[in-house]
Amino acid sequence: SLVFTQSCYFNTLPHLKHLEDSTTGTNDNLIPCREAGLGFQRGDILQIVNREDPNWWQACHTMGGATGLIPSQFLEEKRKAFVPKDWDGTGPIIFKFKQLFFFPQHFFYSVMGITSRRPRDDEQDGQTYQFVSRMEMEMDIKAGRYLEHGEYDGNLYGTKIESIHQVVKNGRTCILDVNPQALKVLRTAEFMPYVVFIAAPEFDTLKEMHKAVVDAGITTKQLTDVDLKKTVDESARIQRAYNHYFDLTIVNNNLDAAFETLQARLDKLFSEPQWVPVNWVY
């Protein structure tokens, strides 16, 4: 998932735009009165009438006027738990996407990763990675200073939360390429992110795209059909589990078209109001 942390302009009226379907009135065993539940679909806009109860809010549809109870954000987060596998979401789109860093009108900037591995002969500290000791990384991880971290080939890698703050403090829009489990930490009023999911295309399309980038010399990494099938399956799984965190989903059927879609949406992001979670405002 690609995440843009930025300052947002938004309407402060208590409305919600829902990012997932709900049949609260019939299927939720926690609701105090099942007949009072209000069902809604992804994209429906609800006006919040009363939020005094920490678990159940009273809301009404802006189109149609039906009123009822919906689960509060606190209740939804409390009862949902995801245990996802790590997924390497990096793909050819990233090569094109990095061109955004050269658009001065938006001041994009990417944070630098941190690792405990030793620098290679052609690497210098602060160019591709910041190199630190394993002990230092482990201490900072235990102290909660990392947005995400993992271990590969015996070395730790991660992204520090302070690195994001520093980019925003400098007046830049921070671009992150993160694993989906980091979205729960990022999607807060502290960062105000705009989350873009670059979804894998169908298997045959992905296979053709991979052959094209190999033939063009963009990458020398040869992926098998098993690797490509795993990418498609993992992309679908992530979309099912984390769809409600995404502000925009782009299926990467064509590199140029995907990039143009992303570029057009980012232009609007800086010029139009955006929907944000209610607790970013109240």
For the chain, domains (ranges, CATH) are 15-79 (2.30.30.40), 108-171 (3.30.63.10)
In angstroms, rounded to a whole number, what is the distance separating the alpha carbons of residues 189 and 184? 12
Q: Which pLDDT does position 19 carry in this prediction? A: 57
Q: Which amino acid is at 240?
A: R
Q: Is the pLDDT of residue 255 over 60?
A: yes
**What number is the average pLDDT over the span 148-155?**
86
Q: pLDDT band for position 10 (50/70/90)?
A: very low
Nearest to 106 by CA among 258, 278, 269: 269
Main-chain dihedrals φ then ψ at residue 210, nearest 5 degrees: -65, -40
Q: Which two tokens stand for residue 107?
A: 């001041």
This model's pTM is above 0.85: no
Residue-level pLDDT at 126: 81
Residue 64 φ/ψ, nearest 5 degrees: 115, -30
Give CA 42 to chain center in angstroms.
18
Residue 168 host element (H or E): helix 161-169
Q: Above 70 in pLDDT, residue 86?
A: no
**Euclidean distance between CA atoms 158 and 135, whole angstroms:** 14
User: Region 137-149: what's the mean pLDDT?
Assistant: 89
Q: What is the mean pLDDT of residues 45-70?
A: 81
pLDDT at residue 251, as a whole number: 92
Higher pLDDT, 282 or 233: 233
